[in-house]
Structure 1
Amino acid sequence: MAITSFKRYEKKFMLTQEQFNHLMPKLKEYMNEDEHSQDGGTYHIYNIYYDNETHDVIRHSISKPYYKEKLRLRSYHVVHQQEETVFLELKKKIDGVVNKRRVVLSLAESQAFLEHGIRPMTKNYMGEQVLNEIEYYLKQNPVQPKVYIAYERFALFGKDDRSIRITFDFNIVSRRHDLSLQKDNYEEKLLKEGMYLMEVKISDAIPIWLTQILSELSIYNSSFSKYGNEYQKYIKEINNRKGSVQVCYNPSYRQQENPLPLLTP
């Protein structure tokens, strides 16, 4: 069992195909493709998000609170065997700072832990700490598998500063049935064809060169939650079936043309 922890800022941007095409040559002056995106290649990410019966987790998250957290099970391939690797992640956001605690388990270990409370065996101190956090979260939040979200990703990292990472997610799809990482069929598209969700992942402020590029191409900071957007569509469908188009919360996606923080020399 392996353990990892990430702490960073994440800035999101919504791109059209045209913006993406113009942006890529400029980014590659400062960035390299990561090991999974060589020669323009992409890779897949599959997630199961956990919530309670009344969707309190995502409803709290899209209210833009000071603190929020969510639990998800992730894999980078369709899982076929119980001993294959998956990632159990507790993602927290505190005043804009993202902290992701992740433990690497087998599918069987993750199911035993999430469904029956059977902790995986580990002699690693950090592993115990991460499992303690997840176990506490599960006791405070009676969550269950709620939605499956998958997408393709292309990723870059900085030539001079590898801590700067930019990802492009597209072909984002979801389903609320067959909530298993062992099945790759899906139904609902969350983004239109030719749209990209770009995320800039940084430990500090966005560097000046990137801010200038985004300004030149009129690419502005946006707010887009994959699970939040899926939940918005889900609620609208329910309301429409009831003869109403009333939505019970503020939309999780909005354009924000606010200034970006600069990394001063």
Structure 2
Amino acid sequence: MSAYQDVFKRYEKKYVVTQRQYDRLAQALAPHMARDRFAESTIGNIYYDTPDFRLIRRSLDRPAYKEKLRLRTYQTPNAGTEAFVEIKKKYDHVVYKRRIAMRYDEALDYLAGAPAPEDSQISREIDWFRTFYAGLRPAMCICYDRLALFDRYQPELRVTFDSCIRWRTDALDLAAGPDGEQLLAPDTCLMEIKIPEATPLWLARALSEAGIFSCSFSKYGSAYQTMLLDRSEEKRGVFCA
């Protein structure tokens, strides 16, 4: 496996951005930002949850502490593709992410209950998580097209744009491809600013001039709520038929 960052501690701010806002902001970003290792990629995630969706239901209550477990790849995988098993935690507005890399087939086996390919502090944390939340299983697939940038002068500052966010609750295998139901309007994307400290003044000014303001948004949470709404509408359709 290639070298990768396995531990993150940072603030993450989210923004739903229209095409017009993006075009204006891009001009301000150009002098400061460069493309990172996975500059343009289609990211696939499988979120693991209990049968009653305990993790995402708790997250939507906005507690001081919340956590999630997911499997991620940066392309439609085959058995040997690099994959990441990640625990993501948020406490008091700070995001902590810890992950381990392995082949996609190893990741599937590991998340199904096999031992980790390599023992480490992070794999032991993931093992504890899987034991504590009994019954974890693949719950939802979320894929999106990402443009990822980092600040040339402050590399810890990253800005990502996720477009064409799709979700599904069937075919919960990333090898099945990135298809799914669209989560956002076609002319919008989700921007995330990821930084260990405060947003720099030049970026704050650029956001203000483009009319872009932060919001609370979870891809998994929004897709889960959409799923519940769809199921409710299906039931009403049956009763009205």
Question: TM-score, normalising length from structure 1?
Answer: 0.84
> Does 2:114 correspond to 1:112?
no
Distance in 2 (alpha carbons) for counterparts of 1:183 and 1:8:
32
- The alignment's C-alpha RMSD in Å is 1.6
Please tell me whether residue 102 in structure 1 is matched to residue 99 in structure 2: yes
| Deviation of the 1:35 alpha carbon | 4.0
Once residues 185 and 4 of structure 1 are traced to their aligned partners in structure 2, the CA distance between those partners, rounded to angstroms, is: 25
- Matched residue, 1:150: 143
CA apart distance, 1:117: 3.4
Identical aligned pairs, as a percentage?
A: 39
Equivalent residue for 1:192?
A: 185
C-alpha contact 2:6 2:99 (8 A) present in aligned 1: yes
Aligned to 2:157: 164
CA shift in 2, pair 1:130/1:214, >3 Å? same
3-state SS of 1:118 partner:
coil
> Is the 8 Å Cα contact of residues 166 and 178 (structure 2) preserved in structure 1?
no
Partner of 1:14: 16
2:56 matched to 1:58?
yes
Aligned to 1:140: 132
- Cα contact 2:42–2:145 (8 A) shared by 1: yes
TM-score, length basis structure 2: 0.92
1:238-249 alignment, distance < 5 Å:
238-243=231-236
Q: Indicate which of 211, 219, 222 corresponds to 2:215.
A: 222
Structure 2 match to 1:125: none
Q: Give the ranges of 4+ consecutive aligned residues of structure 1 lying more than 4 Å apart after TM superposition.
A: none
The answer for the alignment partner of 1:76 in structure 2 is 74
Name the counterpart of 1:5.
7
1:131 is paired with a residue whose SS is: helix
The amino acid of 2:41's aligned partner reads: Y
Aligned length: 234
**Residue 159 of structure 1, CA deviation:** 2.0
SS in 1 for 2:116: coil
Note the C-alpha offset of 1:185. Answer: 5.0
Name structure 2 gaps, 5 residues minimum: none
**In structure 2, what residue type is equivalent to 1:202?**
I
